[in-house]
Amino acid sequence: AAALPVRLLAPAPGERVADLCAAPGGKTAQIAAAGAAVTAVDRSAARLERLGRNLERLGLSAEVVTADALALPEDAPFDAVLLDAPCSATGTIRRHPDVAWTKSEADVIRLVGLQRRLLDKAARLTRPGGRLVYCTCSLEPEEGGGQVADFLRRNPEFERMAITPDRLAGHSELIDDAGDLRTLPSQLAGGTGRAGGLDGFYASVLRRRG
């Protein structure tokens, strides 16, 4: 599930792409492997060290920036921006059942506020005509479709790009009524234990008009 947002972002060779909240770097590696010039941003230096090791192991390169994404300069907007936002991680409950006890309603409220600020920042980092993919590993509507609906009301220069089944190898069941990605732990049957199921994930593809 976590690999799908980059497929939806569809980075192209030569494009400038920002990966916000990037560590430990799986999505950064996908973007770099597609031939894009990727800037990986995270405020955790320790986690970015792991990202750097992963890129070196894979023979890939990226500009790595240790910074709070909210403080990034906006004078050179990107062709595409990926925001894998901090969230309640309730979509990982299949593998981490303790999430149901360690996350509270107060945590979700706090995270929704942070996601809102990060989304608005990501919008300003996206050039006219560029793409923005927002994603979380959460099952909570306020961290997914509700967050994007609020974003579109605040940012009328953006529009949703409805996802089509061909972007997901024909898996139309992974697309919700709004045209966004919504995977569930009950999906991807065929395995047992940790090999079965799919993490709950949400992603929306947004385009800045221009």
What pLDDT was estimated at residue 191?
56
Regions of the chain where pLDDT drops below 50: none
Q: For residue range 36-84, list pLDDT tens digits in order.
A: 999 999 999 999 999 999 999 999 999 999 999 999 999 999 999 999 9
What pLDDT was estimated at residue 97?
87
Can 135 be counted among the known catalytic residues?
A: no
Rounding to the nearest 10 degrees, give the CA dihedral for residues 136, 139, 144, 145. Answer: 150
**Positive/negative CA dihedral, 170, 173, 179, 182:** negative
CATH 3.40.50.150 matches 4-208: yes
Catalytic residue among 21, 87, 135, 137: 137
What pLDDT was estimated at residue 165?
95
What pLDDT was estimated at residue 62?
96
Rounding to the nearest 10 degrees, give the CA dihedral for residues 147, 111, 104, 109. Answer: -60
What pLDDT was estimated at residue 40?
96
The residue extents of the domains of the chain are 4-208
Task: Report CA-CA distances (Å) from 29 to 1, 67, 89, 105.
Answer: 16, 19, 22, 33
